[in-house]
Amino acid sequence: MTILSIHPEDETIPDGALPESIPLTPFELFIVEGDRNPDYPMTLYVEMEFEGIIDERVLRKAVNISARRNPLLVSRLAIEDGVRVWKPGEFKDISVRRITAEEPDFPSGIDLTCEPGLRIMFSTSHDGGRGKSFFRMQYHHACCDGQGARRFALDAFSVYINEFPGEPMKLDRLDYDRLLSRGTFPERKEVRRTTAREKFRYAWGFHCQPPNALAVPKSSRPHDGRSIPRPSVIVRRRLSQHDAQCVLAKAAECEESLNDVTAALLFRTLTRWNEQHGRPKDCRRLRVLVPIDMRTPGDARLPCSNRLGFGFLTRQFEDCLDATSLVPDVREQMNLVKNQQLARDFVEGLVIYQTAPWLARMTQRWPECMATALLTNLGDPWRRFRRRFDKSEDGQVRIGNLTPGPIYGVPPLRRGTRVGVGVAHDIHWMTISLQADRTLFDQKTAAEFMDLYLAEWRAWCPSMSETPGEEIPVMLTAKVA
């Protein structure tokens, strides 16, 4: 097989490019086995805000062309000879739905055995100026991660642009051979791998010293498991341009990465929350799960897939009390995770699931709390697009008749990990999105946690305004067409 150039752009997966069945990687199997509880669907959401009105006909064409270029998004999950496999290209169309204000905010999880691992939703409003649109992607995490979502969006928006006057956009060639080796990770010479003793020590700490879960306030009514499940509990805030620039300037001044700062301030928030709502025994050890992208430069043309590992940052409760030392301490631990490829150790430890699937199911329940919270940093999602797409006079990217704005994203939760936070930014805005365990938290309680997190941001960066940030509804709700 060779690298395949997809031209014309509407070509489906070429014959012979992939085998009829592709075994799941150990990490994909881990995700699929974790998807058994309907209260914790293994899907992630990315929602984009646009100035302008989405052209529905063009959007449908762009979505389906891009999906067909990325085989796992249109693959069916099946079992052959007792092994879970992908059946590439068995689904031909992706659901594209126009959402109205009367519909539920988020749909249920995705059953990969009977539907594709991608759903698209959008809404539009003609109020003021050029109007406004929201575009949401819901992915099953087994077939796509955040970087994969960018790959899909880059393809889809390139096709969308080509429906409007101007110089045509060429779609990237995709390497389908790379898709078959997505579960292997080459050695990196600059990285020192962990020794056998270190692996044992880290494994002992992970399995035998579990973290405290996030405390649940008495005022937050738990879901009793018998009534209809609550809608997803999601809170989103958009910081002003002034506050976004203050945060980025403060991080640059302190020579800290925004990733380290967001993690450190989340530890502070978890500490204060458990102090306020928990018991003394809830204040011993905290752990934050940080997804680590395992891609290498050779994966630049990899179609959508999940090429992540999990890194874990652990802090003792007393280590989170001093805000001054917390950020550099978290940075040191984050560097350890990256420099020793601890996320790779986690992925390689899952290989046993391929020979003992029952073990995968058992470990989904033990330990119950794998991490106190989950944090994903989307960074500047439009950075890659600014290099590829035309820009207006003010430097804003133009996608046909649309001008992109803020992006919001929330990661999936597992039982025991009761809150997940997603952060994204560019020079004009910064967003913080939070998903809480809907069986334990209501919308009001989740908003209180968000307020506490933003208070930690303002304490770290005093030049921020005192406003809590604009609250953004989960989907456009005013005069939705």
Judged on CB neighbours under 10 Å (0-12, 13-18, 19+), 452 is middle
Is 89:45 a contact under the CB 8 Å cutoff?
Answer: no
**Among candidate residues 88, 28, 21, the one with its CA nearest the CA of residue 351:** 28
Q: What is residue 2's predicted lDDT score, i.e. its pLDDT?
A: 28
Q: Which residues in the chain come in under a pLDDT of 50?
A: 1-8, 476-481
Rounded to whole angstroms, the Cα distance separating 110 from 148 reads 17
For 39-94, write each residue's pLDDT tens digit.
Answer: 899 999 899 999 999 999 999 999 999 999 999 999 999 999 988 999 998 888 89
Instruction: State the pTM of this model.
Output: 0.90
Closest CA relative to residue 130, chosen from 188, 214, 51: 51
Q: What percent of the chain has pLDDT over 90?
A: 56
Which residues make Cβ contacts (< 8 Å) with residue 223, sequence separation at least 6?
A: 39, 229, 230, 438, 439, 440
Residue 291: per-residue pLDDT: 94
Residue 229, pLDDT score: 59
Q: Is 39 exposed, middle or buried (0-12, 13-18, 19+ CB in 10 A)?
A: middle
* DSSP per-residue letters across 159-180: HHHTTSSSSPPPPPPB-HHHHH
280: DSSP letter:
G
pLDDT tens per residue across span 208-224 = 788 999 999 987 766 55
Cβ–Cβ contacts within 10 Å for residue 145, how many?
25
**Rounded CA separation 199/204 (Å):** 8
